Amino acid sequence: MNTERAKKVLLLFRPGMDDPTEPETAASLAQAGADAELADWAREQQHWHESVREQFASIEPPLGLRAQLLAMRPQPESNRWWMQPLWLALPAAAALVIGLFINFVATPKVDNRFPAYRNWMARVALREYRMDLSTNSLPEIRRYLATHRGHGDFSMPAGLRTMPQLGCRVFTWHNHPVSLICFEKPDQELVWLFVTQRGELDGAPPGEEPVFVPVGALATASWSNGNETYLVATKGDLNLVRGYF
Amino acid sequence: MGEDMQFDALVERFYRPLYQFAFSLTRTETDACDLTQQTFYVWASKGHQLRDPSKVKSWLFTTLHREFLNSKRRQERFPHHELSEVEFELPSAAPSIREPIDGQKVLEALGELGEAFRAPVILFYLRDFSYKEIAEILEIPIGTVKSRLARGLIQLQDALAPPKKAELAFKKSP
């Protein structure tokens, strides 16, 4: 093996990680053992790799990410009503239980708790999405939502009433419709208002008193009004969102 | 309950390296959080379809990488180059590391790498990935992983050590 080839092999060799007995690696290591210049070169490369590796290892996730991820855990099976012994004991319900069980097995498990919903909507806001309707007209937005399984009669906190709308979209979350209305702030940053049925969410805010929670780079506020649960989100700190109420 | 504990255990074990991978790819905290959350969301929805527990790590990193590519709406496919097809000069020596390497500069240098080289280099430096696992995650052959790595590592050194640029110049294939 010539020196250049040995260098190519040694460049990719990670001591303690890669197999030193792999024939080409073993030959290159043996060659380095007999060639001081090649051995020095390989040592410098390893030193370099270790220094760079330390930089990758020092990347720290932001505070709160772990908790957000844990909030996304699938719903425990023990909480499912159809798994309770009382129901299982009722012969008349057996067929229904079996049917639901088959449906459950065939369907991906979902978490319909409010924190998971809030996290998901924050991601929707931050990722690329398209508007179903682009317009500055609030009546048009209400009409569109009302005729597309959305929430045309949505209400707004005072701070959003003075902001121009950019458009709206209707999409589904766990098969339930969610309305998204997009607003533009004076600084051209966006504010997103999500509306969905309150009954679809476990642990939705109980009343009209908003709950303020940061989600990544977003500040969010959530509340319920009638049958609907609202979530407003924008980039910035919580004081910004508090000012909308 | 077992499923619950399994999900929590997976988060505890993998959220940090997944975030490190995502942050190295995107270089923004928001996008990295987004990718990490999306990965666990996909796991919560579809993870039960995975039958081989030993594949969980590869599955999560593959999912994150796919989500990254999807988010970029990439249309092009990276060209595959086998190691033997690509000739280049190896550095005569590693760049001086007498001065500490700055993490931000490493990320900036990563951004200068060709798209095809970035992910293999990141996985090379994140610990505990065999070449077989890197190949599985990136869904490319091991030979392609090694060829991209060899070029990527040299490009990284090149980007982090401008004075040595002349020594690191690639020579074109005959």
ipTM of the complex: 0.76
Asked whether residue B117 falls in the same domain as residue B53, the answer is no
* Residue numbers of A between 120 and 149 with CB closer than 8 Å to B: 120, 123, 126-128
- Asked if residue B63 has pLDDT above 60, the reply is yes
Provide the domain count of chain B.
2
Nearest to A61 among B19, B131, B157 (CB): B19
Across the interface, of B3, B106, B153, the residue whose CB is closest to A74 is B3
What is the structure's pLDDT at A91?
59
Q: What counts of helices (H) and strands (E) characterise chain B?
A: 8, 0
In this complex, the residue of A51, A72, A108 whose CB is nearest that of residue B40 is: A72
Examine residue B174 and state whether it is found in any structural domain, yes or no.
Answer: no
Closest Cα of chain A to B75: distance in Å? Answer: 16
Average pLDDT value for residue range B3-23: 87
Q: Are residues B124 and B156 in the same domain?
A: yes
pLDDT confidence of residue A75: 62
Contact B91, B154 (CB under 8 A): yes
When CB atoms are compared, the residue of B4, B24, B150 closest to A8 is B150
Q: Residue A69 and residue B153: Cβ atoms within 8 Å?
A: no
CB-CB under 8 Å, B71 with A127: yes
**Final residue of a domain: which of B17, B43, B71?**
B71
- B103 shares its domain with B62: no
CA proximity to B17, closest of B60, B55, B46: B60
Is A110 touching B (CB cutoff 8 A)?
A: yes
pLDDT: which is higher, B5 or A200: A200
* For A10, nearest residue in chain B (alpha carbons): B150
Let me know if residue B14 belongs to a domain. Answer: yes
A48 touches chain B (CB under 8 A): yes
CB atoms B94 and A61 under 8 Å: no
- Averaged pLDDT in 10-residue chunks for chain A of 245 residues: 87 89 91 92 89 88 86 62 54 62 55 85 76 85 91 92 89 86 86 91 88 88 93 90 92
- Can you give the pLDDT at residue B47? 83
CATH number of the domain encompassing residue B151:
1.10.10.10
Alpha-carbon torsion A66, A67, A69, A75, what sign?
positive
- Do residue B6 and residue B44 come from a single domain? yes
Q: Are residues B18 and B63 in the same domain?
A: yes
Query: Does B67 share its domain with B112?
Result: no
- Spatial distance between the Cα atoms of A79 and A209, rounded to a whole number of angstroms: 28
Closest Cα of chain B to A40: distance in Å? 9
Asked, for residue B79, whether it belongs to a domain, the answer is: no
d(CA A93, CA A82): 9
Provide the pLDDT for residue B82.
40
Does residue B93 share a domain with residue B34? no
* A47 close contact with B: CB closer than 8 A: yes
pLDDT at B49: 82
CATH number for the domain harbouring residue B65: 1.10.1740.10
In a domain, B80, yes or no: no
| Contact present, A222 and A118 (Cβ < 8 Å) | yes
Give the pLDDT of residue A120. 86
Residue B76 lies in a domain: no
Report the 10 Å Cβ neighbour count for A211: 16
CB contact under 8 A, A74 and B23: no
Within this chain, do residues B32 and B106 fall inside the same structural domain, yes or no?
no
pLDDT band at B167 (very low <50, low <70, confident <90, very high): very low
B99 and B130 assigned to the same domain: yes
- Name the 3-class secondary structure at B166: helix
Residues B99 and B55 in one domain: no
Same domain, B92 and B139: yes
Q: In angstroms, rounded to a whole number, what is the distance separating the alpha carbons of residues B120 and B151?
A: 10
Among B28, B46, B71, residue at a domain's last position? B71
**What is chain B's mean pLDDT, rounded?**
77
Domain containing B133: what range?
Answer: 85-168
- Domain assignment of residue B77, yes or no: no
- Distance between A54 CA and the closest CA of chain B, angstroms: 9
- Domain membership flag for residue B132: yes
Residue B94 lies in a domain: yes
Instruction: Give B29→chain A minimum CA distance, Å.
Output: 8
Whether A55 contacts chain B with CB within 8 A: yes
Do B59 and B103 have their domain in common? no
